[in-house]
């Protein structure tokens, strides 16, 4: 049975966040509202949960999943970040952006991009997502909640619970989330490369020399 927790959007109840973290720790899948769209999240080291997440999304191992972190300090544990990249990340986190970076050994190899050894990472600017990360005590693996053969993410808690009944364990409902996936920026090259324009503005990035690409990737 899929549960729903109603949370305050800016001051989520600690008790419910602890229960949600317990669901993650037990191998469950949780739908989480963020500053972009809803994401489907699971525990980082849980292969069975990751496989279930990929099956729901219809993704194979060539598609990058995203590590959602509390802050830059935590992000730098899982990605190799030089001074130039750090300055860029500091200006754009927290926020509705996913950054492609070289993965460290803290990330299981099966989660790397198969040819590039990269991983997507983000730091959300959303109280419910941040509260869940704090209660869980470590990053979670996530992906935008876009079902196979659909273009738009699911953003209504009741619809998510109905359409994914018995396939996920929990939906967090709080309102205030965005309705478009994150903007994706590849930081592995000499200059930042915007590979997907989402809800995060890129005007400031382009003004500072970031390049744009017609390549679309789904996270």
Question: Model confidence over 112-171: pLDDT tens digits?
Answer: 666 678 999 999 999 999 999 999 999 999 999 999 999 999 999 999 999 999 999 999
Domain membership flag for residue 218: no
- Alpha-carbon span 101 to 120, nearest angstrom: 6
Number of structural domains found in the chain:
1
Identify the bridge partners of residue 31 per DSSP, sorted by sequence position. Answer: 40, 171
Record the pTM: 0.91
Domain membership flag for residue 82: yes
Contact criterion met (CB below 8 Å) for 13 and 7: yes
Residue 178's pLDDT is 73
Residue 204's pLDDT is 80
**pLDDT below 50 — which residues of the chain?**
214-219
Residue 109's pLDDT is 74
Report the 10 Å Cβ neighbour count for 10.
11
Residue 113's pLDDT is 66
Q: What is the CATH number of the domain that holds 68?
A: 3.90.870.10
Domain membership flag for residue 127: yes
Domain limits for position 168 = 3-212
Contacts of 145 (CB under 8 A, 6+ apart): 31, 37, 38, 39, 40, 153, 154, 155, 160
Domain membership flag for residue 58: yes
Residue 114's pLDDT is 65
Dihedrals phi, psi of 177, to nearest 5 degrees: -75, 165
């Amino acid at each position: 049975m899929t549960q729903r927790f109603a949370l305050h959007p800016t001051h989520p109840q600690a008790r419910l966040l602890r229960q949600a973290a317990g669901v993650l720790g037990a191998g469950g899948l949780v739908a989480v509202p963020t500053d972009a769209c809803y994401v489907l999240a699971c525990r980082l080291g849980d292969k069975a949960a990751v496989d279930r997440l990929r099956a729901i999304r219809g993704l194979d191992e060539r598609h990058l999943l995203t590590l959602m972190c509390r802050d830059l300090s935590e992000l730098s544990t899982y990605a190799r970040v030089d001074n130039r990249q750090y300055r860029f990340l500091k200006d754009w986190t927290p926020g509705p952006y996913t950054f492609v970076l070289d993965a460290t050994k803290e990330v299981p190899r099966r989660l790397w991009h198969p040819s590039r050894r990269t991983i997507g990472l983000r730091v959300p600017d959303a109280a419910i997502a941040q509260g869940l990360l704090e209660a869980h005590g470590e990053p979670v693996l996530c992906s935008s909640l876009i079902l196979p053969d659909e273009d738009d993410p699911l953003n209504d808690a009741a619809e998510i619970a109905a359409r994914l009944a018995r396939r996920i364990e929990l939906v967090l409902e709080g309102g205030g989330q965005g309705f478009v996936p994150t903007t994706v920026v590849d930081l592995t090259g000499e200059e930042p490369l915007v590979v997907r324009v989402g809800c995060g503005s890129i005007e400031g990035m382009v003004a500072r020399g970031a390049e744009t690409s017609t390549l679309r990737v789904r996270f």
